[in-house]
Amino acid sequence: MSVSESIESEVDSRSLSLGTKLKNLRESRGYSIEDVAGQLYLDCSLISALESGDYRNMPSLTYVRGYIRNYIKLFDALSEFAEFENIRLDESDKKIPEIIPDSIIYKKKSAVTQYVNINYIYPVIIISFITILYYAEAQLNLKALLAGYFQSTKSTTPEIQYKTMNNSAEVNIDLRSKKTSIHSEKQNKALELNKNEPDLINLYYEHDSWTQVKDATGKKLISRFVKSGKNLNFRGKLPFTVTLGNSPAVKITVNGTKFNQSKYTIKEIAHFVINNKNMNLQQEIRNAENN
């Protein structure tokens, strides 16, 4: 018995032949060969060959398999043809379809193919692992760099410089003349007389600068970008907390007295507090310099 005869015997023992089942399916749905050919955009002779099981004059086996599957899908009958799901046609015997179980198909995957796949997987895993390590190290270096930067910035904040200036100024007070002390006392008395009046801060802009000023109550007197040439006045209660984005461009006057913020300026940015104490200190320094 030939291979074709043995396979045909196996198919017939299960059910009708594939071609016969296709023909019975078409006729049960009331379709003619021409109807099926028109729906599948195939020649009528191809439909007849499929129903007779004659694949010798058809194109490649891949196309034949596609024709059969599309024929079955046309009638939505895949469940009725489950036994023919894994059809393989042999080049030497196109007459009879051979039914190949899924388990056999998967077992035919060669050991060489598996070896090649593994050889591709291992380098990909190793490269991925190295890439993750590289980026993790880069992240750690970046965090260390930022930590060092913020630590150095914190050590040079205007508040610390402000304390240093106050300490040095307090030492210099003891060396000043009695005339300077008397002048300071008069100014303090004048400030005490006006303590119930709101304090006046004047800001004159020689160039553009971002500005924020808060008074003793925390009220924001200004918080915005101001253009060059502006002359602004605000009233509030001392002390004033001031932040300037372009400190050298802003001239400050408080209650008619000029205030020099250069001691608090770092790279054109300044953050400082104006109160009676440092206003008096600056006035005393100016008086000493004039004398």
Domain boundary residue, one of 107, 126, 146: 107
What is the model's pLDDT at position 10?
A: 43
Residues 186 and 69 in one domain: no
96-107 as b/e, with b when 16 or more CB fall inside 10 Å? bbbbeeeeeeee
Is residue 250 within 8 A of residue 208, CB to CB? The reply is no
Residues 201 and 164 in one domain: yes
Residues 150 and 163 in one domain: no
Residues 148 and 164 in one domain: no
Domain that holds residue 244: 159-290
Residues 69 and 141 in one domain: no
Q: Which two tokens stand for residue 194?
A: 């006006």
Residue type, 153: T
Residue type, 205: Y
Q: How many domains does the chain have?
A: 3
Residues 81 and 32 in one domain: yes
What is the model's pLDDT at position 83?
A: 67
Residues 182 and 229 in one domain: yes
Query: Looking at residue 77, what DSSP letter applies?
Result: -
Domain boundary residue, one of 155, 188, 220: 155
Residues 64 and 174 in one domain: no
Q: Which two tokens stand for residue 55?
A: 């694949």
142 conformational bin, left if phi > 0, alpha if psi -120 to 50, beta if neither: alpha
Residues 190 and 278 in one domain: yes
The model's pTM: 0.35
Tell me the chain's radius of gyration from C-alpha atoms.
48
Given a cut of 50, the residues of the chain with pLDDT beneath it are 1-15, 88-112, 156, 160, 162, 164, 171, 173
Residues 194 and 92 in one domain: no
What is the model's pLDDT at position 101?
A: 39
Residues 211 and 269 in one domain: yes
What is the model's pLDDT at position 221?
A: 94
Residues 151 and 164 in one domain: no
Q: Which two tokens stand for residue 154?
A: 């914190």
Burial of 282 (0-12, 13-18, 19+ CB in 10 A): buried
CATH number, domain with residue 13: 1.10.260.40
